[in-house]
Structure 1
């Protein structure tokens, strides 16, 4: 029996990466030949899964991540793990699953968006220096064997910024639970929830799902509906600067058409009240919410810097735009509105596109990688 250590620091029920870790562990549970062990700082209990919690004392984000990295290494060595897959940038792990993409690519995206202000902020923030150093050390460590890239976009970022050869980059898209995220289940409470929010039954609704509004483009989503008086926008997710976005909606004259719903444990019902999904991310390594929305039968408007955007067929299942191109986002909302009679057909195509991306298929491909690496070892 081979022991596979899976490392992820903390659990956030609204986080896509955390839901993927849980899916991986569920799929691995009970399989012959490989025993998963979750190494974490804080995680909800998973029945029947061995877990090791390491909670070193810390003050500040740099010490937090540095301390967890050291504690996690000691834990997997103590366990005698045959293979270590980390979802954190920890030197010494064998496989890095790049749920969070490439930190250097994210910083480059920030600089493109904010210019010199971002450069100054990044330079004086020790956490970014730590993350870049940890990323470099992880990729250059003699124990490093492969990186799981959750999109082709991430693969190209890894090659460009980290200098990793393409044959060590394995593209494995995130799996989506298309049985849970299906149109009929999502829309079961459509009329009731629309009524609670005060949204007319025939109003065209875009839904945005994601916490961390700056990176995921909430401001762009709000700007995108400004010229389209019939369009409504429902924002699901939390942000420390939430009042700023409320003020933005007010100043743009769309406060009565933007609905802030906060973090929701189960977002399926919000896909159900919508007629389209919008995510204008500045940098999104994959965007599990994009595939969840597609599985629920929604046309998708997302950005060229969203990994899951490579699953979107232009004018077939949705539309793409550069993150900071205001005019393009407003045009795409216009195209979405003009395609109203085609929404059902586009939704069907979107669902068919993601049906092969099952959690089982994702884990099967990961197991093939693990077996190859274990065999080579």
Structure 2
């Protein structure tokens, strides 16, 4: 079995951990070969997080080819198409995994594979609610999906979206997404020893809600700040709690204005974005992750936080909510446009009405099935399944 995986960028560490796990499984089995085609080095929007030649960066080992050592936006459609067709033809795969339906170059590769009798599995992150759906775009997707033999989905919501568009349920081969749980947990535990010292250096509160991600509109951060401001008014323990916003983005200045208007300058801190393997340093200064997005296909930061043992508060627009958040066990889900709901959930932590230690235990336990080795095994099972149909 010859498996060819197409992916957009080399920088995506969360995919690299899964690719390494697939490679390790393939190396243990006769007649299984894996190759990953990374189209470009990175995207411009993530350039500041590049860690090239940094010896402290966790590395992953698997067979791959980097087609273009530049930003994805600088690679033309013609270049992408020609390179993918050339390398696929040379590798002679039995099955190809495509990274999504939105790149015309990969659709050309799909059509080429169909003429050669090669099975194609499409990865899907999208859900029915992460964007406004309808019209001719949905009809094009339906046609693309009809050409595929199977699908790897980020979770149950992305699988449900495909089924709504006519995909047979038995073609859904995976409903999970993973990050490097072990690496994150090790970094988190290492950082915990200096939690108090680092909080004092940054003038943080002893307890903190934390958001990790880009400071952009659909992350719904104004609602988070408003909900927290209201929680502060309602609890006598409010002075013990703050918010950390970890990230950069176009909304930063407007968020600073809101922080000033709400008189939250002493309790809310914006820290610049950092590479994924340094995120646990900030999680170690925090108590609860909040992801309030109004649109979010999945929300990998929830995986990261749970791997570190943090309870989570997640909006109902996050794709991961039904799969990862077990109400009252490891966290809570709120309606994305209802700040009062978020306020009440934050108050439960501020006032000590939840058992954080118990929630931490369940966070780590519930994220264990979303580890790279587990996801890789399910993917390999999926490849074998469609090749025997």
Aligned match for 1:175, one of 175, 178, 197: 178
Indicate the RMSD between aligned Cα atoms, in angstroms. Answer: 3.0
For the Cα contact (< 8 Å) 1:9–1:88, is it kept in 2? no
Q: Which residue of 1 aligns with 2:265?
A: 255
Q: Is the 8 A contact 1:55 1:68 kept in 2?
A: no
Tell me: CA distance 1:7–1:59, structure 2 relative to 1, closer, same or farther (3 Å): closer
Q: Match for residue 45 of structure 2? A: none
Separation of aligned partners in 2, 1:175 and 1:367 = 15
For structure 1, list consecutive stretches of 5 or more residues without a partner in the other structure: 13-17, 112-122, 124-128
C-alpha distance in 2, partners of 1:322/1:70?
45
Q: Name the CA shift for 1:212/1:372 in 2 (closer, same or farther; >3 Å).
A: farther
Could you tell me whether the CA contact under 8 Å between 1:151 and 1:285 is conserved in 2? no
Please give the alpha-carbon distance, in whole angstroms, between the structure 1 residues aligned to 2:271 and 2:338. 26
Conserved? CA contact 1:209–1:236, under 8 Å: yes
Q: Secondary structure at the match of 2:4?
A: strand
1:286–1:307: 8 Å Cα contact kept in structure 2? yes
- 2:228 counterpart of 1:218: no
Per the alignment, residue 190 of structure 2 pairs with 185
Mapped contact 1:56–1:71 kept (Cα < 8 A)? no
Aligned to 2:211: 208
State the match for 1:28 in structure 2: 22
Alpha carbons of 1:39 and 1:207: their partners in 2 closer, same or farther (altered >3 Å)?
same
- State the TM-score, normalizing by the size of structure 2: 0.78
**Which of 130, 140, 151 is 2:146 aligned to?**
140
Q: Is the 8 A contact 2:5 2:98 kept in 1?
A: yes
CA contact (8 A) 2:209 2:243 kept: yes
Distance 1:188 1:177, change over 3 A: farther
Which residue number corresponds to residue 131 of structure 2? 107
Contact 1:28-1:36 at 8 Å conserved across structures: no
Maintained 8 Å contact 2:217/2:251: no
**Offset at 1:301?**
0.3
Instruction: Look up the match of 2:55.
Output: none
TM-score under structure 1 normalisation? 0.80
Q: Does 1:198 align with 2:203?
A: yes
Aligned residues: 343
Q: Structure 1 residues 324-333 or 172-181, which shifts more?
A: 172-181
Is 1:330 the counterpart of 2:343? The answer is yes
